[in-house]
Structure 1
Amino acid sequence: RGITIVSCLGKLFTSIRNNRLLDFDTSEQKISSSQFGFRKQCLTVDAIFILQFLIKRAKRLYICFVDYKKSTRFYK
């Protein structure tokens, strides 16, 4: 039973902390509006739509995609 209580309290604490950090970031504009990772109301589909728009509009566009999935095997 003790593990369950600690787990629930840990989830509660991280949830509260996450909400406070998100409120601070949005009020102080610490996170750019172009950042889509781990944010509510920011869908991957929106990022793809913006990317397609920029590709059609731009004469030159430099894009870098990083595959973190393959790089994590070295840290296990």
Structure 2
Amino acid sequence: MTLRRLMTACVIAAGIAGSASMVASPARAQSAMEAEIIGFHQLCEKGDRKACIRFGILIGRNEQRNADWRRAHADWFWFER
């Protein structure tokens, strides 16, 4: 009887630990700035000219970020090929 209770407790604990680890590990974290840039790019793709300008300003502010984005999103910079 005690063994059955112990095994049940172990199974429940393993289930809780497994579900907690799935929730705690996101696929890919984004910074607030990256999320903002992606939002402006999506609006730009839909034809919002102000969003296109803001997207360009945010990308152009930091040369390292600019290089990183050009590598990560090469399809966005198709006109430079």
Into which bin does the TM-score normalised by the smaller protein fall?
Answer: 0.3 to 0.5
More helix by share: 2
Structure of larger gyration radius: 2
TM-score w.r.t. the length of structure 1 is 0.32
Q: Which structure has the higher relative contact order (CA within 8 Å, separation 6+)?
A: 2
